[in-house]
Amino acid sequence: MVTLPLGDDAPTFLNGSDFWVSISFQAAIQFPMGAHAGTIPKPGRSFLSSDGGTVWFPLVLSSTPYAWTMRSVGVPYTPPPPPVYSTLWQKSVAQGSLPTWFSTTNNERGFAYGKVNDGSNNMVDRLFVVSRNGGNSVRVVDPATGDDAGTLTMAPIITGGLIVINDVEVTYDGKILATNVVGSTVTAQDWKVYMWDNLTSTPVLAMTYVVPPVTPNTRLGDKFRVTGNFYNNTAIIWAADAANAKSV
């Protein structure tokens, strides 16, 4: 629904004349045309609202209501050509190039891309993949070539949950975050967010959120998202609840 704001300074039009309405603000025009009659306008005449759609008034020329016919004119729309994509690299079973650490089940569920500190104060682009194949790890991949570029340091603090580590994200200023998966109808569980300052640092526990036992259970950690900047305190962590249609 579009609201066309016409106030006391609205222009007047002669009966049967053509006119142009130029809209250059947030507005909308309701179709089909109709007249205000009670709570639901009836088709047949045009109408407007000055209060966001609570009350509608018929559009009137002199003392006779008319339907305003809206006509689109100008250059016909030509859709842009479809984008052309090229494959930079591929790691797959079909190509025989799947990394040995990458499973063919569901042990790799979360990945992220970002510009991070390589440990020597050089900012580099990296792709991160959480893997539980043969143990918990965060694999580092060169996004330009798809080649392995190491792993993040794991630590004893990374423990607990239905899945110890599952998804990973990168803040705007290059902090690497990873989380576990929790959710129970019986006991409270700690949803944990771990953080690496750079590619060679030891992780720290950045945040703990206690998920209470409820039915249906609240399940966090299957997918989370981080926006903002860690250094200026604008970073926000969003976590999707896999058991309910909500996020925290």
Within-domain flag for 173 = yes
Using alpha carbons, list the distances in angstroms from residue 65 to 169, 192, 219.
59, 64, 58
Whether the CB-CB separation of 132 and 139 falls below 8 Å is answered with: no
Q: Are residues 125 and 65 in the same domain?
A: no
pLDDT given at position 72? 46
pLDDT given at position 175? 97
β 246-247/176-181 pair status: unpaired
Within-domain flag for 93 = no
Residues 103 and 237: their CA atoms lie apart, in Å, by 28
Average pLDDT, the chain: 80
DSSP-assigned letters across all residues of 183-210: --SSS-EEEEEEEESSTTSPPEEEEEEE
Q: Are residues 193 and 115 in the same domain?
A: yes
Q: Are residues 143 and 39 in the same domain?
A: no
Chain segment 88-99, per-residue pLDDT in tens: 999 999 999 999
Q: Are residues 122 and 66 in the same domain?
A: no
Chain segment 107-150, per-residue pLDDT in tens: 999 999 999 999 999 999 999 999 999 999 999 999 999 999 99
**Poorest-confidence range of 10-14, 84-88, 191-195?**
10-14
The DSSP code for 94 is T
Burial 170-185 (b: 16+ CB within 10 A, else e): bbbbbbbbbbbbbbbe
pLDDT given at position 243? 81
Using alpha carbons, list the distances in angstroms from residue 151 to 33, 77, 101, 123.
63, 50, 11, 17
pLDDT given at position 67? 52
Find, among 84, 46, 50, 87, the residue nearest to 64 by Cα: 46
**Poorest-confidence range of 59-68, 90-99, 138-147, 183-192?**
59-68
Q: Are residues 156 and 40 in the same domain?
A: no
Q: Are residues 36 and 123 in the same domain?
A: no
Mean pLDDT along residues 193-217? 94
Residue 175 belongs to domain spanning = 111-247
User: Which tokens sit at 151?
Assistant: 């792993």
Last-in-domain residue among 42, 72, 102: 72
Whether the CB-CB separation of 115 and 123 falls below 8 Å is answered with: yes
Within-domain flag for 115 = yes
pLDDT given at position 63? 58
Whether the CB-CB separation of 193 and 182 falls below 8 Å is answered with: no
Q: Are residues 118 and 61 in the same domain?
A: no
Highest mean pLDDT among 29-33, 64-68, 81-85, 235-239: 235-239
Find, among 104, 108, 105, 101, the residue nearest to 93 by Cα: 104
Burial (CB count within 10 angstroms: exposed 0-12, middle 13-18, buried 19+), residue 29 = middle
Count of domains for the chain? 2
Q: Are residues 64 and 148 in the same domain?
A: no
Q: Are residues 135 and 199 in the same domain?
A: yes
Q: Are residues 240 and 138 in the same domain?
A: yes
Within-domain flag for 133 = yes
Mean pLDDT along residues 204-209? 95
pLDDT cut 70: percent of the chain above it = 69
E strand or H helix at 151? strand 148-151
Residues 15 and 196: their CA atoms lie apart, in Å, by 71
Residues 27 and 146: their CA atoms lie apart, in Å, by 47
Count CA atoms within 13 Å of residue 37 on its CB side: 10
Q: Are residues 239 and 177 in the same domain?
A: yes
pLDDT exceeds cutoff 50 at 40: no
Within-domain flag for 104 = no
Residues 162 and 114: their CA atoms lie apart, in Å, by 27
pTM (whole model) above 0.75: no
